[in-house]
Structure formats: C-alpha cells, structure tokens
Structure 1
Amino acid sequence: MKTDFLVIGSGIAGLTYALKVAQDCPDKTITVLTKTFSDETNTKYAQGGVAGVTDFDNDSFEKHIEDTIIAGDGLCDSEIVEIVVKEGVERIKEIISWGAHFDKEHSGEYALGKEGGHSEFRILHHKDVTGKEIEDTLLRAVASKPNIKLISHCFVVDIITQHHLGFLVTKATPDIECFGVYVLNMKTNEIEKIISKITLLASGGNGQVYRTTTNPSIATGDGVAMLYRAKGRIENMEFIQFHPTALYEAGVTGQAFLISEAVRGDGAILRNDKGEAFMEKYDERKDLAPRDIVARAIDNEMKINGTEHVFLDCTKMDMEKFLHHFPNITDKCLSLGIDVSKQYIPVAPAAHFSCGGIKTDEWGRSSIRNLYACGECASTGLHGANRLASNSLLEAMVFAHRCYLNSVEKIETLEFNTAIPDWNAKGTTAPKEMILITQSLKELQLLMTDYVGIVRTNIRLERAMKRLDLLHEETEQFYETTFVSPQLCELRNLITVGYLIVKEAQLRHESRGLHYNTDYPAKNDIVQNIVL
C-alpha cells in the first residue's frame, strides 16, 4: 500500500493533522492508522479541558507563558512556550469552528475553569468530558473528507528506514530516513508494509508501563519505542507526571478513573485519613499547586499515615454547579456508593502523562527525515520537567498545525521508495504459552511502580535496570522465534519505554519537577535536557 501522508494514531494530534492536510491537498492520499477502534485514544479520556487565553480583560499571554515555565521547573524551551500559548488561541477557534462545544455562562461568555499552577481562570471545557467532545468532533470532520482513509485494528510494528534495505544504521548515521511502516493487520493477522512520503507519529502516551494509570490500555509507548529502535532521538523520559487524584478502588489496577484537577480548581480540598487539610504544609498554593508538588505531598501523607489513599472533600462546594460541570464524575462515584455532597472521594496518584518523548524541533520534525511527531509521544520543549494542567490538548493542536505546514511544503519534492522488502517471518512459530507475555508485563509494571514512581533513589533505579535487562533479553528471544502479536509488540515497546525512563532518571543527578530522587534532593545550577 502507498499513501502520500501516513498518520499513526487517531487522537487530537493525528486527526487534526490529517484534517488540515486533506483540506489543503485534496489530490493527495492521507491514511490514518489506529490499533483498536478509532475513538479509543488518550484524547477521549481527557477531562479537564484546554488551556488558552480567551479572556484578555483578566488574563494575558504573558501570564500563561509564566505559569507554564514555572510549572516546567526551568526546563521549558521559552520560544516553544511562546509559540504554543500565542498560536493556541487560533487553534481553539478552529476546533470550535469544526463543531466542538465548550461550556458557557448564562451571559454567553465561556465558562472558564482554573487548575493547579494557573494564575487565572483560562480552561475551556465541555463538562468533564472535554476530550471526548474534541475526539467526536474531529472524527466527524475527518469522515467528511474523501481523501482520508481511517483504518482501525492495525498495529504498527516498526518504522522502515535504510536499516531494512541492508544498511548499517546507528545514532551517528546522518540523514536516517523514514520510508513507511510495517503493520500487523489484526483482521488478517498478516504483516503488511505501507510506503509513505511523509509519516506522522501521533501514537500517544505510555501510562501502561505502570501498574495504575489514568491512561487506557492502548497507551503502551509504541511511537517512542519504535523511533528509539530506528535510532531516532528521545529526551526527558524521566519526567513522568502522576495525576494526584485518580479515584482509588481497592484491588483495582490498570486504568484508573480520573478525578479532574478542575474539581480542585472549583474548590475541593485534599484531606488525609484524619480529615486534615494537608496541602498548606507543602506549598503556599495549597490544593492548586502544580501537579508534581501535589502528587509528592499525597505520596508523603500516605506513607506517613500508612494508607493507600487520601480523600478529596467536595462537600462544601456548590452542588448544583458540581453536578452541571462534573456529571461523569458524579455518576462514577454514585456507582460506587459515594455521594459527593456528603462523602469524601478516595483518591491516590496514578501515572498520567509523559513530558518527554520523541525529540522534535519547532515544526514537529524528529531526528529522522520525513518523520514528524506530535501529541504526547513528542517532546517539543513545552512541558520541561512538569506539564502545566490542560496544556496538552493545546500543544497537540498547535504542533499538528505546524507539522502540517512544514510537511505540505515539501510533499511535491518526495518520491516513494519502492525497494522496501516484505516482512520476513521465516523461522518463527506460534507462541505456545501466552503466560510468558502476560507475566512479564505484570513484572514490568510492578517494578516500574515500586522502583521508578513518584519518589526514586539510586538503588531503586539500579535494581529496576537489572530487572529490565533480564526482561528485555527474554522478550527479544521470544520476539525472534514467534509470530508477531499485538500483546508481544506492546510488551516489547513498554520494556523499551521503561528502559528509557530509568536510564534518563539515572543520568539526572538532581531532583527537578517530576523527577524526585532522595539521593539528589537539590536542583543543579546547570539545567539541561537529557537526550538518548
């Protein structure tokens, strides 16, 4: 199969890019691949909203820029921050013009929320299902474009480069080039090749590397792992954001239900098992401190008191407003017998967002030619050491636009590479025991949770790396001798992601933002991004 533009992922980043290219290049083919259903993305589960300066009477670009840089703890690229904040307003207007609805006050003005780290009310939202509203809007828009082909249940196995043509490719190789991808068609169970002129990785996050995460099961770091195997550049993977307030359900692992930060923005208070409001002990901003600070505070309270969760107190809030703004959260709590007007919500931190990823420039270009990246799989320079709440959807829209602008400029100069060999499965057999995959995944998630969580130490990181080495060795042997399956590919990708997180955490001899190591409790004067 050949396509002019190939998009890996059907979240806000991939669909925004595909839609823009389709509008600008009606004579070109755009193919969007997604490994499950087209709407099953991290975007769909985003609750809080989109941060953007729309109320210029009370807010400003300068304030949003400053809030972002403060949250990023010295590692944000200030030029990128300015680009995203200033260009983001037009992207918000654009998504509204495509049909997305954000909540409004009775006056007709947008109902703006406030979340941790923000100095002003600037979060546009659609109740507590903003991501789903955006995802549905984009899917409708994409369906109206005849030159976009959206294919579900296709698992991208590897990026095709000169390596597959028999050349030795290392990180020092100049001009590594992407020619397309190998894909496991889950409907036919065959590996197919898709040749493309331009490829965009918009493959989402990697929360499933931890035992408990707000991410869906598809968030297995596929894009980051594939690019690393293709000898592309990765940076800042040590900065994994744990959302402070995932709903705690005893015995439940995997995807945790998110209690949006907007709930605290509207007045909810964190309390420990004694009923004490504790955030004032940790930060003058109390419950609206940046997420890294709140997550560490909760983690500390849980360890001090020997509990598995703390509580979120919503009982003093305006319940009419709460029910209007957070119907999804209300229904979920009621399903567990929790009446938020009378009872506290049990919450605990869960892996939420990767601030690092595929290193890109200001146009979303990766270190591999004709391969772009945007969305959570990319490291654009916006987030630094910690993401400011609700900046992720904004970033995805801004960089999808920039990837589109840059890629359509050069599409006419590119040709298909027709010398790509078919996938070689010679010598492989069907796996005899799936337990070898499922048990390794459990081991990986447990070691990452226990050794590479909110608080780290050198010895924990060392132990994690030793166990990762063994898991990597076992899994690669299995991969070389058995048929490719989505489960095996995801395990392989998650082990790579785990390695990158641990390796970059070991290289950062300081505590900064989301990376807190008790052996290096202070920040260094020299601030740098760690690139692998």
Structure 2
Amino acid sequence: MSGQLTYDVLIIGSGAAGLTLALSLPEHLQVAVISKDQLDSGSTRWAQGGVAAVLDEADSIDAHVSDTLIAGAGLCHEPAVRFTVENSAAAIQWLIDTGVPFTQEVGDRFHLTREGGHSARRIIHAADATGLAISDTLIQRASERPNLHMLKHLIAIDLITREKLGIPGSGCVGAYFLDKEERKVVAVTAHATVLATGGASKVYLYTTNPDTASGDGIAMAWRAGCRVSNMEFNQFHPTCLYHPLEKSFLISEAVRGEGGKLLLPDGTRFMDKFDPRGELAPRDIVARAIDHEMKRLGAPCLYLDISHKPTGFLRRHFPTIYERCLALGIDITREPIPIVPASHYTCGGVVTDNFGRTDIENLYAIGETACTGLHGANRLASNSLLECLVYARSAAEHIVNNMDSRLPIPTVPGWDASQVTDSDEDVVISHNWDELRRFMWDYVGIVRTTKRLVRARHRVDLLRGEIQEFYRHFHITSDLLELRNLVDVADIIIRSALQRKESRGLHYSRDYPNALPRAFDTVLASKALRELGEV
C-alpha cells in the first residue's frame, strides 16, 4: 500500500453508520471505507433487539419523541429527537429497499416488538439478530459498488488537519493509519472525512461490545480540537449473560419486552420495588436495581426468566439467544438465564449538528461516535441503530451538496519513524490495558462517588504519562494505539463525571443523589484545557 491514498470521501468505520453513509453517496464519488479489522468486526452485528421507528398507525411521532425525552432524563435536545423520529420511517424503508430481511407476520406486515421505555410496539427486527442482518446486507451491497473501496486491517492513528500541516485554510484532510498486516503507516486523504468508529465501552472491564470499541474516533477528534459532550453517560446493559465461557453476549431488551422477569437467586421478583414499570423500566433504572441487589446479597449474578413462554415462541423469536445459551448448558425454555450488567453504549461523544458536522471543517462524526443530542442522559432502547441511519443519510446529503466548494487536497508528509525503536517491554501495554479497564469499572461504574472519581483521575494521569512515553519512543502497534485512545476517553469520562454535581440518567453519584432543577450538557473543549496546561 502506497504512502498516500486519496479519495473524495474517507469513512473510518464499517458499521451501520459508515456503510449507510457510503451507500447513500452517488457512484461518481470515490469513497474509502476503512475497518481496523474485518468489515463486520464492529458493534453493529451484535445488536439483537432492532430499530425503533414509527411504523404503526396506532403509534405516533409525538409518542416516540415523548418516550425518548423521558428516557433521556431532561437532557435530550428536542429538535434533534424530533429530527431523528420524523426521519425514522424513511430510514427503515431504505433498509427494506436495500434488502434487510426483517421479520414479518402473516401477510406483508412486519412484526414489531416492544422494549423498555417504549409506550408502543415500534421495534422492527430480524428475529433476535437484527444487527447481523443489517451488517451482512450493507456489506454485501457495498461490495457491489465499484466506487466503494473497502480497506481492512487499517487502524487510525490521528487526524490530519491543515492547521497541523501549517498550510493555508482550515479543516480536516484525512488521517494517518497503521497497516496492521504490512506494519507501516499510510496517509489517507479526502475532501471529507467521516468518523463512524463506534463507542468506547471497552474502557470498562465488563462490556457487551467487541474488542474494537476503544473510542478511537472520539479520542482522535478530541486531540484534533473538537468538543465532546456528555461522556459521563455510559449505558450499562442490564442483562449480559453471566457465564465463564462467554464474556460479552447480551440478552436482548426484547426478552423483557416479551414478558421476561428479573429474579433474585431465590426466585423472587424485585423490579417493582424500584420502578412501577417493573422490567420495562429504562435501562439505567434496571441496571442500577440489578447492581444494588447483587451488592446487597453479595451475589455474583441475578436471573432473567422467560421460561413461562411456549417453547416454539422462544425458539422463533429468540433463536440466537436460545442456541447460544443451550450451547452453554442453559435451556431458556426450562430455566432462568444468569445475567449481570455490562458496559454497553456511549451516550456522549463528539459534538455534531443534524448533518454530522463537527467543530472542524470537513470532519463529520456519526453513530455512537457522535453526540447529536438524541440520547440525553440515557439512550432509549433501539434508538441507536436509528441514529446511525438517520444521521448517516443526512451527512451524505451535506457532503454531496458541498463537495464543489472544498479546497484541493494537499500532499501530506510521510510518517516519521526514524527516532523510534522496537519495544522489548510489551508487557507494560498489557498491564496498563488491564489496569485502566479495571479501575474504570471499580471507580467510574454504575454507581459513583467523588472520592472514587478523584482516585481514578490520579490513576489515569499516571497511565497517560507511561503510554505517551511508549508512544514517543517505540514503534506503534494496534494495542498501543487503542490503549492511547482508551486513556484519553477515560480521562474525558472522569472529567465529565466530576463536573456533574447531581444524579441524572446514567450518571448516579452517592454524593449528589438528586437531580438539579435544570439539566445542562457537560461540554469539554480540549483547546481550552490545553491553554490551562491540563492536557
């Protein structure tokens, strides 16, 4: 692979957001879609429940907007919520036209399920493997488009801006990548660069996300000068399968939506003590309830029971969950499923508008990487894939409409590795990786205190120093790059959590257990912190 590759549009990430944007661009544009592993290695393929959208006559845009605002605990931006919901039906129709095989009822109607926090059945799905169906379909369609260049095993290092290059004008012109197979750095430049790298749940020890969810896009945008917002709101999925042979398999929200009951080890229900909606309460409430009961009892896990439903119903609606659990010796038609909460979704991210535009010209962020204002302090179930679709299509429209006005792409300098050597102490990276994720779980998890956050801040400062020294003196590796991104994301999460002197949504502090009368976003600007000498 040559030292500099140039395209019209560079999309970093090959999940639902990145591929939707790529397929929404006209075929005369040359587009690079880059994955740091395989094309389907991101979080999209693991999404089980489905996509929320107003598709039934008994439902309404106002109802979906209201449910989203309630779940977001007063922090959603209502214009962004309404923009997303109003475009939901068109986005789903696009997926249908693209060939996604959603589950149908008798006749031509699609089956709609209901999940926690929703007041109606509005979740369109492909059995219990919706993300897999979307991912496979979009990858297949992208492979049929000759203008889409699908590049694998390239992990982004940093964004390239005109400011960094010291040339006239402003804006992003691409990024440097480490080719993991050839072990060399390549520059990929473009008129428009899109961050669709997913979230940062790998910053925690226990997560439902794949290993790729290391916050790369958020960290790169932060280092380049973009604002980030609401990073203290990390959603913990209430029901991740608890089993020694399975580290990140989630049990879909739809299991509770179809009547699943949460149980203590002795078989008694407990959710009604915490919320009148019981098992259908929003995820933050359910996760805290499970966490509370586990700590109160000293229990390693709790249980989710759907065995009262007919066997045929369970095998038809939850085939993936049924088969995976059965392979581990758990028959969900006869016994409850052992579960624990796990880090699942990053509600905050890079600040964007309705077109996915960031603070840096020609740089866009979409999907879980972005903070659009849709999710507020807690994401409503199945709004995540919807956000990917709506904002990807909107960003594609803006990119096309403004392509002619962009400056010529400059030649960028090659990556200078003349002053670094091979490391003989890679154990430091693995140790720091484990330490970071462990103290984030212990100190910055579902329930927080100021003392724990301060302790985590001290640890992250020490780790950053060690990681930066490694980065400056040794050849880069994918593990080092991901660790560098994770430590930046951890620092942002901790800073954001320390600024919020209240409990709201996914952020619960024992020192500030009540919500303030008014909700405010937590917005951090890296440029301002640099001027203060804090980053």
TM-score of the superposition, structure 2-length normalised?
0.96
- Give the secondary structure class of the aligned counterpart of 2:422: coil
Q: Is the CA contact 2:231–2:347 (under 8 Å) kept in the aligned structure 1?
A: yes
Letter aligned with residue 464 of structure 2: H
**Distance across 1 between alignment mates of 2:202 and 2:130:** 22
Q: What's 1:46 paired with?
A: 47
**8 Å Cα contact 1:273/1:305 also seen in 2:** no
Secondary structure of the 1:334 match is helix
Are 1:121 and 2:121 counterparts? yes
SS at match of 2:506: coil
Shift of 1:525: 1.4
CA shift, 1:161, in A, is 1.2
Matched, 1:311 2:303: yes
Hey, what does 1:187 align to over in structure 2?
181
Query: SS in structure 2 opposite 1:376?
Result: helix
Q: Which secondary structure does the structure 2 equivalent of 1:456 belong to?
A: coil
1:290-309 to 2 correspondence within 5 Å? Answer: 290-309=282-301
TM-score normalised by length of structure 1? 0.96
Could you say if the C-alpha distance between residues 391 and 232 of structure 1 is closer, same or farther in structure 2, counting changes exceeding 3 Å?
same
Structure 1 partner of 2:424: 432
Query: How far did residue 531 of structure 1 move?
Result: 0.8
- Once the two structures are superposed, what CA deviation does each residue of 1:208-262 show, in whole Å capped at 9, x if it has no partner? 111110000111000000011111111000000000000001486xx41010010
Aligned Cα RMSD in Å? Answer: 1.3
The answer on whether the counterparts of 1:196 and 1:416 sit within 8 Å (CA) in structure 2 is: no
Q: 2:191 is matched by which residue type in structure 1?
A: K
Deviation sequence 1:164-199 (CA, Å, 0-9, x none): 3248xxxxxx98510110011112111111111100
Match of 1:376 among 349, 359, 368: 368
> Is 1:14 paired with 2:18?
yes
**CA offsets per residue over residues 271-306 of structure 1, 9 Å max, x none?**
011211000000000000000000000000001111
Q: Which amino acid aligns with 1:30?
A: V
Corresponding residue of 1:418:
410
Moved over 6 A (4+): none
> Equivalent residue of 2:135, what SS?
helix
Count of residues paired in the alignment: 520
Distance across 1 between alignment mates of 2:296 and 2:29: 60
CA distance in 2, matches of 1:166, 1:117: 49
User: Equivalents in 2 of 1:64, 1:275: separation in Å?
Assistant: 34
Instruction: Render the CA deviation track for 1:384-430: whole Å, top value 9, x for unaligned.
Output: 00000000001100000110111111111113332421111121011
Distance 2:441 2:236 in 1: 11
Shift of 1:104: 1.2
- Corresponding residue of 2:204: 210
1:164–1:421 CA contact under 8 A, matched in 2: no
Of residues 221, 224, 230 in structure 2, which corresponds to 1:227?
221
Distance 1:251 1:93 in 2: 39
The match for 2:335 is 343
Match of 2:74?
A: 74
Aligned residue for 1:198?
192
Equivalences for residues 502-517 of structure 1 within 5 A: 502-517=494-509
Q: 1:217 to 1:15 in 2, by over 3 A?
A: same
Matched, 1:145 2:145: yes
Where does residue 37 of structure 1 map in the other structure?
A: 38
SS in structure 1 at match of 2:513: coil
Asked if the contact 1:175–1:368 (Cα under 8 Å) also holds between the matched residues in 2, the reply is: no
SS at match of 1:442: helix
5 Å matches for 1:85-100? Answer: 85-100=85-100
Alignment-derived partner of residue 486 in structure 1: 478
Q: Provide closer, same or farther for how the CA distance between residues 483 and 105 of structure 1 changes in structure 2, counting only shifts above 3 A.
A: same
Q: Are the aligned partners of 2:226 and 2:359 in contact in 1 as well (CA < 8 Å)?
A: yes
Q: What is aligned with 2:382?
A: 390
What one-letter code is carried by the residue in structure 1 that aligns with 2:61? Answer: F
Q: Deviations over 1:73-131 (max 9, x none)?
A: 00000001001111011010011001001111124321111100000111011111100
* Matches of 2:169 and 2:519, distance apart in 1: 29
Whether 2:181 is the aligned partner of 1:177: answer no
Residue matched to 1:28: 29
1:161 equivalent in structure 2: 161
Q: CA deviation at 1:332?
A: 1.1
- Superposed, which structure 2 residues align to 1:243-262 within 5 Å? 243-250=237-244, 255-262=247-254
What's the CA shift string for 1:317-355, capped at 9, x where partnerless? 122111101111011111111111211100000000000
- 1:165–1:175: structure 2 CA closer, same or farther, 3 Å change rule? closer
Of the candidates 448, 453, 464, which is equivalent to residue 445 of structure 2? Answer: 453
Q: Measured at CA, do residues 366 and 15 of structure 1 come closer, stay the same or move farther in structure 2, by a change above 3 Å?
A: same
Question: d(CA) in 2 for partners of 1:329 and 1:117?
Answer: 22
1:170 is matched with none
The residue matched to 1:426 in structure 2 has which SS? coil
Whole-Å Cα distance in 1 between the matches of residues 169 and 71 of structure 2?
Answer: 35
1:323 corresponds in structure 2 to 315
Compared CA separation, residues 481 and 13, structure 1 to 2 (3 A): same
User: Structure 1 counterpart of 2:88, which letter?
Assistant: G
Q: Counterpart of 1:322 in structure 2: which amino acid? A: L
Q: Provide the C-alpha distance between the structure 1 equivalents of 2:307 and 2:198, rounded to a whole number of angstroms.
A: 35
Q: Distance in 2 between matches of 1:201 and 1:165?
A: 20
CA distance in 2, matches of 1:106, 1:175: 58
Counterpart CA distance in 1 for 2:337 and 2:95 is 33
Report the AA paired with residue 9 of structure 1.
G
Q: What is aligned with 2:531?
A: none
Determine if the alignment matches structure 1 residue 133 to structure 2 residue 99.
no
1:165 & 1:100 partners in 2: Cα distance? 43
Quote the residue 2:528 is aligned against: none
Amino acid at match of 1:310: L
Shift of 1:526: 2.5
Q: In structure 2, what is the Cα distance between the partners aligned to 1:392 and 1:418?
A: 36
**Cα distance change, pair 322–144 in 1 and its aligned pair in 2 (3 A):** same
Instruction: Report if the CA contact (8 A) 2:214-2:485 is conserved.
Output: yes
Aligned: 1:334 with 2:326: yes
Check the 8 A contact 1:49/1:126 in 2, yes or no. yes
Distance apart, 1:509 and its partner CA: 0.4
C-alpha distance in structure 1 between counterparts of 2:104 and 2:261, whole Å = 25
Q: Counterparts of 1:485 and 1:261 in 2: how far apart (Å)?
A: 36
Q: Are the equivalent residues in 1 in contact too, given 2:314–2:333 (CA < 8 A)?
A: no
- For each residue in 1:464-484, what CA deviation from the matched residue of structure 2 results, as whole angstroms up to 9, or x when unmatched? 000000000000001000001
- 1:237–1:355: 8 Å Cα contact kept in structure 2? yes
Alpha-carbon distance in structure 2 between the residues aligned to 1:326 and 1:274: 25
Asked whether the equivalents of residues 163 and 171 of structure 2 are also in contact (C-alpha less than 8 Å), the reply is no
- Contact map agreement 2:201 2:214 (CA 8 A) in 1: yes
Q: Distance in 2 between matches of 1:163 and 1:408?
A: 24
